[in-house]
A and B are shown apart, each in its own frame.
Chain A
Amino acid sequence: MTGCRLQVDAVRLGYDERTVVDGLDLDVADDEITVIIGPNGCGKSTLLRGMGRLLRPRGGAVLLDGRRIDRMPTKEVAKHVGVLPQTPSAPEGLTVGDLVSRGRQPHQRWYRQWSADDEDAVTHALAVTGMDAYADRVVDELSGGQRQRAWISMTLAQDTSLLLLDEPITYLDLAHQVEVLDLAHRLHTERGTTVVMVLHDLNLAARYAHTLVAMNEGRIVAQGPPGEVLTEQLLSDVFGLDAKVLPDPVAGTPLVVPISAHLRDHA
């Protein structure tokens, strides 16, 4: 049993009058890829925001190494946890190199704004994602896949052992989706990074996750290896989806094949 640096303890999260997540517990296993799945509006992005300290809990707590992250300094948290929001926006005209350099913010102080370590971490982060060739290109002129890699580079430059990615592949074509997830997998194997992602694509989620967390209506309904979580019963209960689950011919992980209404008679 590996440790769990990041723990969610009976957390309640929400916006304005609306509570989205209520009394949720989750231990994120270190050195694993954890993928959160669930229907739209089930609170998975909200949970990720809470885990990354982007949202203050209204009850319960999110713990990092046993300390409540809402009581830790923002900078301290940012040295351990990197968060990539769903739709980050860069100011017009910013180059990839400058964007990635911003990831060093938590390691800088007002009197020492750029060091050799910073330079090194940025170079490394660019190399890992293959964005080094684009360092002097302007972010808003990149393709969707390149832009996403640039943003991931920024969180990598932060040099954290935990990485939270909120729907990192949503606007990408399939080839770029695989590319970004391969990158997440490589970070896990090469750097030992603990990765938590919110994904909509169940088949890719099953393929890349060590632990799959299925959420519905602000609660966790199933948690474990993809083969155990992703069942026909769960798809029907949580997503209201009539589907067959087959073994993925490439990876052996569960493969969800939806049964469309007009084909139901044949199935």
Chain B
Amino acid sequence: MRAVRDIAPVPGRKHVRVGKVAGAFRPRSVLVPVLCLAALVLVAAVNIGRGSSDIEVLDVLRTLAGGGDERETGIIVDLRLPRTLAGVLVGAAFGLAGALFQTIARNPLASPDILGVTWGAGVGAVSVIVLGGSAGQVSGAAAELGVPLAGLSGGLVAGLLLYALAWRRGIEGYRMVLVGIGLAAIGSNVVYWLLTIGDVDDATRATTWIVGNLAGVGWEAIAPVALALGLLVPVTLAAAHTLGGLQFGDETARGIGIRVDAARATLLLLATALAAVATAVAGPLTFVALATPQIALRLVRTPQPPLVGSMILGALLTVSADLCVRLVAGDLPVGVLTAVLGAPYLIFLILRTRKEVRA
């Protein structure tokens, strides 16, 4: 029996209370996302400023806040913003998808690229580019929509296959990773086969897509993905309240009242949809989904990848990679650099933690 009284805070953590809602306050889980968000705004502004005529960062920020002159507003909003915005959206979606996959599989290897979801999207998109091209020049709206839609469906099919094949009286992390690696191998081989049978132009276009590309993304491509993510992200964050419990064994999770199979299937479906939508827009930006949740959890120091933190870091990594690629090499696709930027930092963090443990 506990009458209403002063709440006894859980020892060992700082306590916050607002009305009936109380909770633990962890400075890092607020500080890290806020700092990353600030960095994201800055990098995004620099990235938007880059172009045939460079615009100062402060002018970009002023224009985005609604205070720019007409010419700058035209350039920034109509021409430059979509590319960076796409980077933000796609990066955030990959970060969130990766965090979900890794938490559910209880395995840091489980990311949509390793598990074959992005390769499924690749098969869909490349088929349309290669086969659609030879079947009679798909163009205009069909080409605009065809590739992303095919990518989206390919990713979803791969996700469902993964779930169906890995299912054996429930989903186990290691089996999901093994099945996923198999699916990814099949998917990548189908893509390579498609590239060899396509003509040179189609193959080049397809290769650019496979590497991951933000150039040429316009408002017409942003609108559907923004809508999809605007729907998927809140639903995912709400559904994710079972994620902490799912990290335990199935029996423990069931014991604390989680409908294990239903909760896991829901979250996997949402993660697959997020990854597929993101891939459909920008191609499989390898490593964003794998690395950002791991970087985020090491920065925030939580046992599982923080969802919002992974989203912000995913966006930051993608936009930074886009900026670097433009600074260094003109118009290479951004996917070339996401891994080059993310991997060393992740390795650095892992090495540092190991040192701490030893000390």
Contact = CB atoms under 8 A, between A and B. Distances in A.
Contact of A97 (B13, B241, B254): B13
A133 B258 contact: no
Interface string B1-18: 010000111111101010
B248 A74 contact: no
Name the residue among B10, B13, B106 with the largest chain A CB count within 10 angstroms: B10
A118 B241 CA distance: 15
Contacts of B251: 49, 54, 83, 85, 88
B303 A110 contact: no
- Chain B interface secondary structure, helix, strand, loop or mixed? loop
Interface stretch (B19-27, B65-73, B344-352): B19-27
Contacts of A123: 7-11
A124 B2 contact: yes
Interface in A78-118: 78-79, 82-85, 87-98, 100-103, 105-106, 108-118
Contacts of A6: none
Given A94-B303, A115-B20, A158-B256, A124 B249 contact: no
Contact of A114 (B2, B8, B23): B23
A155 B255 contact: yes
A141 B249 CA distance: 19
Interface in B99-137: 106
B12 A135 contact: yes
A75 interface: yes
Contact of A82 (B2, B23, B242, B255): B255
Interface in B238-288: 238-239, 241-242, 244-245, 247-249, 251-252, 254-259
B47 interface: no
A28 B239 CA distance: 36
Contacts of A101: 10, 24
A237 interface: no
Contacts of B245: 102, 105
B244 A102 contact: yes
Nearest to A53: B254
A85 B20 contact: no
A92 B241 CA distance: 19
A97 B10 contact: yes
Nearest to A191: B1
B304 interface: yes
B57 to A, nearest CB: 38
A54 B254 contact: yes
A27 interface: no
Q: How large is the interface on B (under 10, 10 to 19, 20 to 34, 35 or more residues)?
A: 35 or more
B2 A83 contact: no
Contacts of A90: 247-248
A101 B11 CA distance: 12
B88 to A, nearest CB: 26
A88 B252 contact: yes
A245 to B, nearest CB: 35
A105 B256 CA distance: 6
B321 to A, nearest CB: 29
B7 A106 contact: no
Given A91-B248, A124-B2, A135 B11 contact: yes
B259 A74 contact: yes
A15 B244 CA distance: 27
A121 B22 CA distance: 12
A228 interface: no
Nearest to B244: A102
B247 to A, nearest CB: 4
B257 A116 contact: no
A110 B21 contact: no
Given A111-B238, A116-B7, A124-B8, A83 B22 contact: no
Interface string A16-43: 0000000000000000000000000000
A116 B249 CA distance: 27
Contact of A106 (B239, B252, B257): B257
Question: Which residue among A49, A90, A105 has the maximum number of chain B CB atoms within 10 Å of its CB?
Answer: A105
A105 B8 CA distance: 19
B233 to A, nearest CB: 14
A97 B11 CA distance: 8
A94 B38 CA distance: 29
Which of B7, B15, B20, B256 has the most chain A CB atoms inside 10 A of its CB? B256
A20 to B, nearest CB: 16
Nearest to A99: B248
Contacts of A78: 255-257
Given A112-B21, A120-B8, A75 B257 contact: yes
A119 interface: yes
B102 to A, nearest CB: 11
A119 B257 contact: no
A120 B7 contact: yes
A114 B22 contact: yes
A27 B165 CA distance: 41
A101 to B, nearest CB: 7
Given A85-B252, A97-B24, A119-B23, A91 B10 contact: no
Interface of B: 2, 7-13, 15, 17, 20-24, 106, 238-239, 241-242, 244-245, 247-249, 251-252, 254-259, 302-304
30 contacts: A54-B255, A74-B259, A75-B257, A77-B257, A78-B256, A78-B257, A84-B252, A88-B251, A89-B248, A91-B247, A91-B304, A94-B303, A96-B12, A98-B244, A100-B10, A102-B248, A103-B256, A105-B242, A105-B245, A106-B256, A108-B241, A110-B238, A110-B239, A116-B21, A119-B10, A119-B15, A119-B23, A123-B11, A135-B11, A136-B11
Cβ-closest 5 pairs across A and B: A78-B257, A136-B12, A106-B257, A135-B12, A83-B255
